[in-house]
Structures are given as structure tokens and as C-alpha cells.
A = this chain, B = another copy of it.
Amino acid sequence: MSKIIPYKTYLGEDEVPKFWYNMRADMKKKPAPLIVPATGKPCTAEDLEPVFCKELVRQELDNDTAQFEIPREIRDFYRMFRPSPLVRAYFLEKALGTPAKIYYKFEGNNTSGSHKLNSAVAQAYYAKAQGLKGVTTETGAGQWGTALSMACSFFGLDCKVFMVKCSYEQKPFRREVMRTYGAEVTPSPSMTTEVGKLINAEHPGTTGSLGCAISEAVETAVKNPGYRYVLGSVLNQVLLHQSIIGLEAHAAFEKLGEYPDVIIGCAGGGSNLGGLIAPFMGEKLRGERDCRIVAVEPASCPSFTRGAYAYDYCDTGRICPLAKMYTIGADYIPSPSHSGGLRFHGMSSTLSELYDQKLMEAVSVKQTDVFAAAVQFARVEGILPAPESSHAIRAAIDEALKCKAEGREETILFGLTGTGYFDLIAYQAFNDGRMEDCEPTDEDIRISLEKLPKVKE
């Protein structure tokens, strides 16, 4: 007879993690270092400290320390929206008629609408601890900008957000949440930075890009005394903070006496997936336990499944260090899908190295299939998921149906990173049957990869 598992498992306040976990400490072959484009040499703390907070630079470069204590102030903030529940998707299982057990870790129950707040609060805290006046960042879909605004408001820091101009105009509600939390939101390209002026002069009427917004945010941080730049994904430090997701999930499974056979997460820059899998990957790396790990990416931006593992620029503006990662090329502009959070050309260096070592798998999915899964999920599980998160739902449903066909009783865990309350234009397109799929041709990718920088490793 099977155990009775509650619908939702919450950890008690005495059970929540007090340390973040750094997967790199348990990797025999470490992720490749960031490289300074001008010299071709690995980035040092001195290279990074003008841009990032000191403590965050330390976290970024530390490949050896496994446990980082979470400061009390951050744990206090986490208490407002964490622990997040580990949910047993009984209704979805029933709708699919699968023998698989499906669990999801739900990170959407906070005003930022996603897991982004986990790292935003950490980055804001360290900025405040260093005595800074404020931070700058860019935002596209707006979840990261919202999360950072909330964290800065809490710690009394200035927050300057460069929001891609087309998003600024098309997503006035996201913009307004940030303003409510006291952030200064500037459409990018703006006339407040040199790079913004240049781009506006070269491309009159441009609606901007994430690459351009990054450049403006970095310039503003470097030029204003007391400011630093912060980033919501890709970096090692972000994966470290996001490990709270996986650590809570791991502890909840322990309480239930269960363990996942497969872990599924959507992957844009890798912040959510890298956090969700962290302690499980740690056990895998240390040879203690094993489970499959699956990254799900959009067919329109397939860095893992169709990209190259090479050094590339992190930003289109080419002002950031080079990172070794699975990439479809910094110049490649993915089609305007409805999952803005997954439209990054590259992937976290740590995840890229794990993928290269075949410690994880990857699949790509089409957005119409993703929205079909989103609607199916919403109707039985009651939560309207974000388009990004719905990539994981799609893959989890496919896995559960495979279990059904093969009569296997697998335990599936997927990351439900956020809610879709600000993505109703996308749902409308799907509901009206107007949503389209697009993916790069082989030729598109070949041309883009030809432009990768030449780096001698």
C-alpha cells in the first residue's frame, strides 16, 4: 500500500536551509573561468569588483567552498515568501492517467511572480552591506526587475532598472509594480547613457534589446559612485542563491521518504534549473544517489540542443567578460517568443560543463505545445503558469505519458518557476489560435556560430 502524501509539503521554519550549496565544489572538472576579452586571461576579483559587489565576486570565483551561510537578514526576508511548497500534482496525474508520481516545486507565490526574488534579495543585501547607494540592472520580461525592486525597497537601496523599450511600452503593468516598489525605470535605449545615445543616433526609433539594456545598466553602475551592477541569471553566484529551491525540495522529499527519478526544469540562462537540481546533482557528483536531470529549452532558442560549447560574449553589446557555455551565438536574435525569460543565446557555464560531462540531458519544445500544456495544467491544478515555467510542464507531462505507455511508476519533479499573470497577451494569442512556432534553420545557427570570438583555452 502506498503512503499518503499530502498535496503540499511545507518545511517548518526550523527546517529551512541555513546554507546555500555550491555545486562547483563537488565537480571534479570545474566550469571554465570567465575571461577578460582584451587580455584573454581569466577574470580576477580585481577585474570584477568595479562592476559587482565584493562578496558576490567572491561567490562568483569560489569553485571550492560547498556551503555558504545565508546571512540572517536574507533568511528573514526569505521567510516572507519561503519556504515554497513542494506540491504533489494529484489532479494532473489523474487527468493523465499515469502511474507516475508528479511533484512540482512552486516558486510563484510572491509579488515578483517567480524564483528571481531568491537571488535579488541576496544581491541587494550584499550591496547594502558593502555600504553602496544603489544598484543597476536590465529587465526584459520584467520578473527580475520586479524582484530586484522589491529587494531594494526592503533594504533601502536605490534601484535603477533599464527596461527594454518595447517591453516598457507593452508591459506597463510590470513597469508599474517596479515603480510601486520605488524603482526608477528607464526605457532602453535611453538618452541617459553614452551607449544609449549612440544606439539612438545609429538606430533612430529602435525599441531596444536586452543586450543594449545590459550595456546601459553596466555603464550607469560604473560611472556612478556607490553603484554596482546586478544580474539575475547565468552567473555562478545566482545559481548559488537559487540552490535554496533545490535544498528545500530535497528536505521536503526527505520528510516524505521519497526521491525523484527525474528532475525537469526550464532553462534560459539556467538560474532556476541550476538552483532546483543543486543538492541532487551534488549527490550525483559525489556518487551517493542518482537521478536523471532534464533541461527544457524553447525550440526558438536552443543553446543546449543545437548550440556549440565555446567561449562567447554574454551580452550583445560585448562589454561583459567572455564565458564558456553552450551558445547559439551572441549575435543571434531569437524570434520574439512569449517566453522572454528563456530568450538568452547562451547558458550558465556551470550547467554547460555538467551537460558536456553528460550529467544532464536537454530537450527543446515548441511554444504552441508549451501553451497546450500550460492550459491543461491550469485547468486541473488551478495555477496559471508562466510561459517559461510551462516548458517544464510540457516535458513533465510528456515524461508522465511515457511512464503510462511503458507502465513505469517513476517519481517526477519539475520546477514551476512562476505565474503567468503578466503574460495574458500570450495566453490570448493561444486562446485565439493565433500563436505561431518558429525555430532557427541550421543555416541561421551555422552563420551565427561562425562569429564566435576566437579564444585560446
A binding-site residues for B, Cβ under 8 Å: 6-8, 10, 12-13, 77, 79-81, 91, 109-111, 113, 150, 153-154, 172-173, 176-177, 179-182, 375, 378-384, 419, 421-422, 424, 427-428, 431
Contact = CB atoms under 8 A, between A and B. Distances in A.
Interface of A, secondary structure class, is helix
A113 B421 CA distance: 10
A185 B110 CA distance: 28
Contacts of A179: 427-428, 431
A111 B181 contact: no
Chain B CB within 10 A, most for which of A13, A177, A380, A424? A424
Nearest to A379: B153
Given A111-B378, A180-B427, 19 more contacts: A7-B13, A7-B80, A8-B79, A77-B382, A80-B91, A80-B381, A80-B382, A81-B382, A111-B382, A111-B384, A111-B419, A113-B421, A154-B380, A172-B428, A177-B424, A177-B427, A179-B427, A421-B421, A421-B422
A359 to B, nearest CB: 34
B378 A180 contact: yes
Nearest to A14: B6
Contacts of A427: 176-177, 179-180
A118 to B, nearest CB: 13
B154 A431 contact: no
8 A-B pairs closest in CB distance: A173-B424, A7-B79, A176-B424, A80-B382, A111-B384, A153-B379, A421-B421, A176-B428
A118 B422 CA distance: 24
A296 to B, nearest CB: 21
A7 to B, nearest CB: 4
Contacts of A150: 382
Nearest to A382: B80
Given A8-B79, A79-B8, A80-B91, A180 B422 contact: no
Contacts of A431: 176, 179-180
A120 B440 CA distance: 45
Given A109-B109, A431-B176, A382 B424 contact: no
Contacts of A12: 6
A434 B449 CA distance: 51
A443 B427 CA distance: 47
24 contacts: A6-B13, A7-B13, A7-B79, A77-B382, A80-B382, A81-B382, A109-B109, A110-B383, A111-B378, A111-B384, A113-B421, A154-B380, A172-B424, A173-B424, A176-B424, A176-B428, A177-B424, A179-B427, A179-B431, A180-B427, A181-B378, A181-B379, A421-B421, A421-B422
Contacts of A382: 77, 80-81, 110-111, 150, 154
Contacts of A176: 424, 427-428, 431
A421 B380 CA distance: 22
A54 to B, nearest CB: 26
Contacts of A177: 384, 421, 424, 427
Specify which of A8, A12, A150, A180 lies most central, judged by the most chain B CB atoms within 10 Å of its CB.
A180
A72 B260 CA distance: 29
A439 B298 CA distance: 52
A179 B180 CA distance: 29
A179 to B, nearest CB: 5
- With most chain B CB atoms within 10 A of its CB, the pick from A79, A154, A172, A419 is A79
A293 B299 CA distance: 56
Nearest to A181: B379
Centre residue among A153, A172, A173, A431 by max chain B CB count within 10 A: A173
A9 to B, nearest CB: 10
A182 B379 CA distance: 8
A111 B378 CA distance: 9
Given A176-B427, A424-B173, A111 B383 contact: yes
A7 B378 CA distance: 29
A110 B381 CA distance: 10
A421 B111 CA distance: 8
